[in-house]
Structure 1
Amino acid sequence: MVSEAVPIRRVSELTGVNSVTLRAWERRYGLLKPLRTAKGHRLYRPEDIARVEAIQRWLARGVAVSQVRALLDQGAEATEVDLSPTDPWQQHRQVMAHALAALDVHALRKRLAALTAEYPMPVLVDHCIEPLLSQWRSDVGQGRPQYGVTSQLLCFESVLYDYFASARHRQSAPKGAPRLLLVDNGRTPDSVLPMIFAYSLGVNRLQVDFFGPVPQAEWLYAVDQRGANAVLLYTDSVPEPGLEAAHRDLERQLAVPIWLAGRQTALVDSALQPHCLGQSHSEILAALEARLPVRVEGPDFSDNGSPGSGASR
């Protein structure tokens, strides 16, 4: 029913798929057919939103976006079809690796722009960005990396941080949206994946404050100053010493939840496990979305909020 239809920004809030990607799925791949208002604004019915969620399930299984329409038209379910063992993301990773080998910043940014326009962030991070980062970081972490690998890693980290930090500046959250304090609590500071994660949360219309490795002694100060509704401690490295005691002390002083995410969740004490949200980008986002539902006040037909995007219909 038209009365149940919602604008594109609301679809982004409900599904975590940014508006540029929704438009690309419609224009380039014919995956969506939203209604239009008299002024040309898109309106999505409940069945359109269900289709977006079905598309996401296929993409999460590693299916290329160009192959999803045929599967949907067949009425296939993502949980019922055996897929080819071929990894369609391998080509994307190879293109990125080739650009990295040449330290070609322009090519890297161009590829990121193309991928962020076609894939939801959890899929892009889990299948492409994080595996590449892990590979390069592992090579460098061994102490004697192949010639050039350290420069490639630094180039990749710099491009990723600048790209998504710039994208975050163009995001805005609706009035009344929950505010999350995101803290890098690892012994080895890493601002790249948390910055990407902060951008992903912004797509879902959450207000996110990320200041990097805020010391444990100042977590309470940061929460008080920003009025955070929750704290997320994120790291893929070994967490700072005294995490359990710091977590316990902060819980006593605050009336907000304190969660942990990233690969540290496999390393922390059992007492902290109930507070762990997961390791992968998609796991953490799903857990957070269930715990911090977005509250939207009033209709909004604007269509920005993705890297390199502007207002559109």
Structure 2
Amino acid sequence: MIPEKFAESTIAREGDRGRAWIAELPSIVDDVLSSWNVEPDGATMHGEVGIVIPVAGDRVVKISFPHPGNDYEADAFEAWGGRGAVRLHQHDDARYALLLERTHAEQLIGLEDNDQIPAVAGELSKRLTIAAPDHLPRLSDRADEWYDEVRSGAAEFPDALPTRVVDAALDVVDELGREQPELVVHGDFHARNILRADREPWLAVDPKGYVGDPAYDGGTLLLPRVLPYLDSGDLATPLQRELEIFAEAADLDRDRIRRWAQLRCVQGSYYGRRNGFGRARSGVLLDRLVAAAEQLAIAWA
């Protein structure tokens, strides 16, 4: 029931703690299925940090590696109550387990119409933008972390980006990051976390669950969208078009989205240079992705 690839990647990423959790995971699965009185109804699937087990009744059990980034997933689903996101039926916080509405495997990223991707995402973002409950963590609490991250990246890679581009990212932290609206933010809003569904055409999954500026989610959406345009020779024009489509559909200020996206591109440049990306840890593709992030960081500064 535990996919081998998922076990290997978890241990590679998390070390001994990941190995211990993988060893315990079969008993966690048994306990969760038993306590919720559900039976497996299909092959176990997985993402980067969790497994998803289809169960009878058109639901799935999701069990995630215990990490602070997964602490508030259930809270976000509860706040939305099925509005633009999958419905939450049960949760076991100690085991990082959720019983969720089942969706299809098709991801929004798979659409061939590039304009439809930001349009659908924008419509969902608008529905997910609701008043936040008090107990969700605030994105604004991460502002100092972001500021230090950008400054340390600029010191480590001084030739990666012009000073004015780095300063523009720091201004985003100071001007948008430190005081933010009291609204629910998905926190990991990209086209792979939007799935085809039956109750609605598309539903969001895998939220981090923050309080903050919904334009931040727009910035998060745009950075992975470089991939369809890597061979075009012009990233800024199609990405600006997607930004504007998203902004209109989400009813958000396009300049705020652009500024958040610029910060995310600067962060992506430094992160990629240090660690690589999930799609490319080294080699030519990594170099191209880092160059793309830097091209957009300059264009949007």
Give me the TM-score of the superposition, normalised by structure 1: 0.23
TM-score (norm 2): 0.24
**Larger RCO, structures 1/2 (Cα 8 Å, 6+ apart):** 1
